[in-house]
Amino acid sequence: MTIHRLLIANRGEIAARIIRTCEALGIETVLAASEADLDSIPARLATTVICIGPPPSPRSYLSLDAVIQAAKKTQADAIHPGYGFLSENAAMASACEKNQIIFIGPTIGQLQAIGDKLKARDNAVAANLPVVPGGPVESVAEAQAQAKAIGYPVLIKAVSGGGGRGMKIVESDNALAQAMTLAQAEAENAFGDSRVYLECYVASGRHVEVQVLGDGKDVIHLGTRDCSIQRRYQKLVEEAPAPALSPELRNAMEAAAVTFGKHLAYRGAGTVEFLVDAARGSFYFLEMNARIQVEHPVTEAITGIDLVAQQIRVAEGRPLGLGQDDIRFYGHAIECRLNAEDCANDFQPSPGMVTLAAFPAGEGIRMDSHIETGIAIPPFYDSLLGKLIVWGKDRTEAVERLQQALSHCRINGVASNIVLHRHILDDPEFQTGGVDTRFLPARLTSGDWNLEAIDA
């Protein structure tokens, strides 16, 4: 079925990003917006705008009924959920099917198979992928027995959701009971699911992921991304391809991701995430994200492939039109997530009026954003203001180009993390490449960086 009108059940930069591809494909767009986003840039770019409720997400972007009714009212052929909100919700895909609306994403069964981290782990084992030692635990006694078997430190993780909620690092038996209680409570509060599982904690781990595309029959990969620079499990800097990996390790992870996708007969764009044990040169399956990722532009930059267009193509029932041999990798790309947060005040969110938004432009520079001078940043949603992406013929050129681009980036009126990104880019260890997830927490703890100001 050809999609003529597509409803975007999301907001911010990803909504604007989807609209751009739809315009290129000649597809009309309907933006499903909350009352807080009716005058946003995506609202101005869309063909049509429909209000789906008041600002709080549970009454708008997370309201399955409101989204479906908006699609029916505007006679949309399809719904693109973007990332976050309802993007990996099997009930959303089911409601689309029931109402004969195309869901831009995987099948209902695939969402169920990988949305639950334990089911995803079981599928990974069935596909012969390496997994981190551990498993589900329901009681403190079970957790203590499993921790004793695999050794401390261990990581308690929520079965549902993500973003670091319901995750606790435990160093000893004495701390396990309290950590597990807190993790279960966080998981219940955030996801309505208190289930947790326990894994061996890899202290020197890198977060490396592989982008895959599938049409339900064939699955290919579009290379690796490194997302190891994180604060409280939230990614801040991503790059493609992942640096400082041996060809053997890179090839093994890419092959494992494709194997997993084929095991699921995967349809759409997806990301298979791995934990790389830098000390041992091994890797483990973490999870699969069944949606477009925030960091997808770095993959687009090194492959020249529009991932949103591929999502739409597959959702229409067409084959990929690409084989693995058609994928070519060019240069290196790095992305910085620009957030409205006060780095000098424990990274508190900083909603408010943007009095100046000036972004760099030029060769190899891409800015995905939904803000401009005079735009209000509402307090109801995540703090992402936009993504600054650069491409270079190699990693050295990409780092230098991003340093220059950040120095010409201005966001006034709200606090932002531009200063933090400039410190990261200037750090010799980052410039060498291959840092692990301890890199940023260690720098922030040391107090060596002045997060209030940096010379322009």
Q: Based on the fold, state whether residues 404 and 381 are members of the same structural domain.
A: yes
Q: How far apart are CA 89 and CA 67, in angstroms?
A: 13
Spatial CB neighbours of 410, under 8 Å, sequence gap ≥ 6: 356, 357, 358
Number of separate helices (H) and strands (E) present in the chain: 15, 23
The verdict on residue 250 lying in a domain is: yes
Spatial CB neighbours of 45, under 8 Å, sequence gap ≥ 6: 16, 19, 20, 29, 31
Number of domains in the chain: 3
Q: How far apart are CA 275 and CA 305, in angstroms?
A: 26
Percent of all residues in the chain with a pLDDT value above 90, rounded to a whole number: 84
The verdict on residue 121 lying in a domain is: no
**Cα-to-chain-centroid distance, residue 61:** 18
| Residues known to be catalytic | 291
The verdict on residue 126 lying in a domain is: no
Q: Which of 167, 185, 200 is the last residue of a domain?
A: 200
Q: Tens of pLDDT along 224-248?
A: 999 999 998 899 999 999 999 999 9
Q: Based on the fold, state whether residues 260 and 406 are members of the same structural domain.
A: yes
Q: Based on the fold, state whether residues 360 and 302 are members of the same structural domain.
A: yes
Give pLDDT, residue 161: 64
Q: Based on the fold, state whether residues 178 and 216 are members of the same structural domain.
A: no
For the beta carbon of residue 328, count every other beta carbon within 10 angstroms. 9
DSSP 131: B
Segment 345-356 shows an average pLDDT of 95
Give pLDDT, residue 203: 75
CATH of the domain at 152: 3.30.1490.20
**Token pair belonging to 364:** 């190899």
Q: How far apart are CA 238 and CA 303, in angstroms?
A: 16
The verdict on residue 54 lying in a domain is: yes
Q: Based on the fold, state whether residues 248 and 371 are members of the same structural domain.
A: yes
Q: With CA atoms as reference, report the closest residue to 52 among 69, 66, 64, 41.
A: 66
Q: Based on the fold, state whether residues 187 and 257 are members of the same structural domain.
A: no
The verdict on residue 456 lying in a domain is: no
Least confident of 84-98, 179-193, 323-337: 179-193
Q: Which of 153, 169, 200 is the last residue of a domain?
A: 200
The verdict on residue 113 lying in a domain is: no
Residue 204, pLDDT > 80, answer no
Confidence of residue 162 (pLDDT cuts 50, 70, 90): low
Percent of all residues in the chain with a pLDDT value above 70, rounded to a whole number: 98
The verdict on residue 68 lying in a domain is: yes
Q: How far apart are CA 118 and CA 456, in angstroms?
A: 48
Q: Based on the fold, state whether residues 247 and 355 are members of the same structural domain.
A: yes
**Token pair belonging to 70:** 């908006």
Report strand pairing: 234-240 vs 332-339.
antiparallel
Q: Which of 168, 200, 232 is the last residue of a domain?
A: 200
Q: How far apart are CA 270 and CA 289, in angstroms?
A: 6
Q: Tens of pLDDT along 271-295?
A: 999 999 877 779 999 999 999 999 9
Q: Based on the fold, state whether residues 176 and 246 are members of the same structural domain.
A: no
Q: Based on the fold, state whether residues 236 and 372 are members of the same structural domain.
A: yes
Q: How far apart are CA 366 and CA 164, in angstroms?
A: 28
Q: What is the mean pLDDT of the chain?
A: 94
Beta bridge partners of 393: none
Residue 57, pLDDT > 50, answer yes
Render the burial of 244-261: b for 16+ CB within 10 Å, e for the rest. Answer: ebeeebbebbbebbbebb
Q: Based on the fold, state whether residues 164 and 215 are members of the same structural domain.
A: no
Q: Tens of pLDDT along 432-456?
A: 999 999 999 999 999 889 998 554 3
Residue 81, pLDDT > 60, answer yes
Which residue has 């960091």 as its token pair? 295
Q: Tens of pLDDT along 387-419?
A: 999 999 999 999 999 999 999 999 999 999 999
**Token pair belonging to 425:** 């880019």
Q: Based on the fold, state whether residues 318 and 388 are members of the same structural domain.
A: yes
Answer left, alpha or beta for residue 100, where phi above 0 means left and psi between -120 and 50 means alpha.
left
∠ CA 88-91-92, rounded to 5°: 65
> Residue by residue, what is the 3-state secondary structure of 44-91?
HHCCEEEECCCCCHHHCCCCHHHHHHHHHHCCCCEEECCCCCCCCCHH
Domain range spanning residue 59?
Answer: 5-104
Strand, helix or coil at 140?
A: helix
Q: Tens of pLDDT along 104-144?
A: 999 999 999 998 888 999 999 999 999 988 888 988 899 99
Helix (H) / strand (E) element for 187: namely: helix 173-191
- One-letter identity of residue 236: L
CATH of the domain at 432: 3.30.470.20
Q: Based on the fold, state whether residues 164 and 283 are members of the same structural domain.
A: no
The verdict on residue 125 lying in a domain is: no
Q: Is the pTM of this model over 0.85?
A: yes
Q: How far apart are CA 340 and CA 152, in angstroms?
A: 36
